[in-house]
């Protein structure tokens, strides 16, 4: 049986629904949110943080190649 929602959980659910329902939300992000919500929250967070760090490093490398600093 599913665990009942607490007061704070309802706000979290409303935020997730709002993001998924927003037409500006990409299909990729929508799918990632749905997939993450079906997983263990600790594992999903750890994987999301790893992905965010990887994407940040990739973006930093791309920006550095296209806009080299002047020293």
Q: What is the pLDDT of residues 30-40, one digit of tens each?
A: 999 999 999 99
Q: Tell whether the model's pLDDT for residue 68 goes beyond 90.
A: no
pTM exceeds 0.75: no
- Higher pLDDT residue, 29 or 9? 29
Q: Which helix or strand (DSSP H or E) is residue 44 part of?
A: helix 41-66
Spans of all domains in the chain: 1-38, 40-71
**Using CA atoms, how far apart are residues 40 and 37, in angstroms rounded to an integer?**
8
Which residues lie below 8 Å from residue 48, measured CB to CB, with a gap of 6+?
32, 36
8 A C-beta contact, residue 43 and residue 51? no
Task: Determine the average pLDDT of the residues in 10-16.
Answer: 83
């Amino acid at each position: 049986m599913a665990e009942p929602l607490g007061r704070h959980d309802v706000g979290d659910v409303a935020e997730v629904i709002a993001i998924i329902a927003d037409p500006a939300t990409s299909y990729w992000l929508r799918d990632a949110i749905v997939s993450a919500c079906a997983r263990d929250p600790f594992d999903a967070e750890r994987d999301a943080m790893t992905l965010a760090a990887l994407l940040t490093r990739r973006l930093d490398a791309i920006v550095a190649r296209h806009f080299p600093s002047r020293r």
